[in-house]
Amino acid sequence: MVTERTAPSDGDGQPAGTHKMPPCTNNLTTALLMDTYQITMAYAYWKNGTHERPAAFDLLFRKNPFAGEFTVFAGLEESLRFISNFKFTEEDIEYLRNEPVAKSMEPAFFELLKTLNCDSLKVHAQQEGSVVFPRVPLLRVEGPLMIVQLIETTLLNLVNYASLVATNAARHRLVAGNDATLLEFGLRRAQGPDGGVSASRYAYLGGFDATSNLEAGRQFKIPVKGTHAHSYVQAHVGMEDLKCDVSLPYSDGSNSCSDFKQLVLDSLELLNREVRDQLPEHNRWGKTNESELAAFTSYALAFPNGFLALVDTYDVLKSGVPNFLAVALALKKCGYKPLGIRLDSGDLSYLSLRTREIFTKTQELLGASRAGGFSSFGITASNDIHEEVLHSLKQHGHAITAFGIGTHLVTCLRQPALGCVYKLVEIDGAPRIKLSEDVEKVTIPGRKHAFRLYTQGGHAVVDVMLGADEPAPEVGQRILCRHAFVASKRAYVQPACVEQLHHLVWDGERGGVPNNIDVSLQAARQRCKESIQMMRSDHLRYSNPTPYKVSVSEQLFNFIHKLWLENAPVGEIV
């Protein structure tokens, strides 16, 4: 038994119904988004008459990022969009003709380029959003040698960064926990507009809840969130800066507060009189900053249903928090529910805990009628946060409910590249192997299919690759799983569940993407969550995670080493 989603069949084992994909979301993803050596190799293949030889390439990575033991696969939808729309335009051909590298290329080659598309390709892939591991191919691309070679760099570009950001986001989610709200705030620090939009998309896939990036929100239907900056507070000098109508309708429309500004001032006086002196000494304030109070008041007038204040422009506990509470009390009197505060500097653990104390004590002292719900105000933190900061906050304790994370998430500062490679594994039906003195760089030859084996407890324990002609593992039937290159590393597994990892995601001859393949962002996001839940916690932990086992079948192990010996040169001692 193999667990997999099956599609309706048209009678010969192929999924019934296919479709083409819309263009890539980034208009830079053209047929020319390639390295020069792709076009020079294509010409050489054509010149030699070998450009139509059937070939298969694996796209894979060799090591998990961020010193972890798992990766989240992303970029499949964009890859299929690219494949579906691959075509050299007249402008592309004209540009190539005039490049020095193409001066010796014959005109007939350019005429051939005009006719190229991916209708002759088949692509098998793991599902976008799923947890994946080194050496197990993310994609296998099959078709005429020239075509599968031409699309190499673009596929690597579309998968490498996407998978890196999705993995980074998933790691942040694991450390922050499921209850925290995670907000992606990285656009201003990202590597260009395309990097910023891609980061927003794949952070959302990896488990973030929203983005500040409106363009990403528009393109991918990601929830957008945001409040105000320090400059908004600094732009106010005092209450006289409130030039707008200071009346505020009640939330139910039944009445209106004619002077919301005065209501805020009265609320601050109430806090000074009934709350401040009842607080522990370290939480008491004196005279708060009036310009900050004016800024909060004007912002609340603009967004009474979404009031969240940045409270660290001057002093969090001595000014920002009491000023927020004054505006919050005024809003509550008008029937609105403020959201909370944002911290962008300082000791986040200490400040969040002290702030929560003030919120809770204020509700206790003023009672539910005046301050009900104050103890549960949100506290958002956004001060150069990354995975290590989240881990430290968890260890030391905090009262933060949401995290705004930017630079470290979108730039993947801890590791800037995943290192996916694209390797030839079969030509003319004959498996090919790439050898290296570095065993990690030796490829696993031939077309393969992979399966994930699960224990009775429902956790994944090993991914095993088999040759394309081998039968799939079966539930309850022992299978010998071997390390691809180390003979002594082997173990029997009797799986309680078997999951097929590779699926046909593109069949050009039959029209494109099978209709049973869902590569939408929402599906990938849900798959990421579910896939991580199926992993053992020791493979996911922040420090010293247990390596996840990736293996090959006995038959494939023997074939790898046979081919290795056949292709490795024999040394000579002199």
pLDDT of residue 281: 93
pLDDT of residue 65: 98
Measured N-to-C along each axis, helices 90-97 and 107-115 cross at an angle, to the nearest 10 degrees, of 160
Return d(Cα 417, Cα 134) in angstroms, integer: 14
What is the CA 207 to chain-centroid distance, rounded?
7
- For residue 28, count other CB atoms closer than 10 A to its CB: 11
Q: What is the pTM of this model?
A: 0.95
pLDDT in tens, the chain (574 residues): 444 433 334 434 455 699 999 999 999 999 999 999 999 999 999 999 999 999 999 999 999 999 999 999 999 999 999 999 999 999 999 999 999 999 999 999 999 999 999 999 999 999 999 999 999 999 999 999 999 999 999 999 999 999 999 999 999 999 999 999 999 999 999 999 999 999 999 999 999 999 999 999 999 999 999 999 999 999 999 999 998 888 999 998 888 888 999 999 999 999 999 999 999 999 999 999 999 999 999 999 999 999 999 999 999 999 999 999 999 999 999 999 999 999 999 999 999 999 999 999 999 999 999 999 999 999 999 989 999 999 999 999 999 999 999 999 999 999 999 999 999 999 999 999 998 888 888 999 999 999 999 999 999 999 999 999 999 999 999 999 999 999 999 999 999 999 999 999 999 999 999 999 999 999 999 999 999 999 999 999 999 999 999 999 999 999 999 999 999 888 889 8
What is the CA 553 to chain-centroid distance, rounded?
32
- Written as six digits, the tokens of 332 are 């509550």
pLDDT of residue 480: 97
The answer to whether 73 and 163 are in contact (CB under 8 A) is yes
DSSP-assigned states of every residue in 376-430: G-EEEE-SS--HHHHHHHHHH-----EEEE-HHHHTTTT-S----EEEEEEETTE
**Nearest alpha-carbon partner for 351 in 326, 324, 307, 320:** 320
- Written as six digits, the tokens of 174 are 């694991």
Q: How far is CA 528 from CA 69, 84, 461, in A?
A: 15, 25, 17
∠ CA 468-472-475, rounded to 5°: 165
Return d(Cα 220, Cα 389) in angstroms, integer: 29
Beta strands 340-343; 378-381: pairing state: parallel
**Nearest alpha-carbon partner for 59 in 116, 126, 121:** 126
The DSSP output letter for 288 is P
- For residue 554, count other CB atoms closer than 10 A to its CB: 15
pLDDT of residue 7: 36
Q: Quick one: CA dihedral 156, 157, 162, 168, positive or negative?
A: positive
The answer to whether 373 and 336 are in contact (CB under 8 A) is no
pLDDT of residue 10: 40
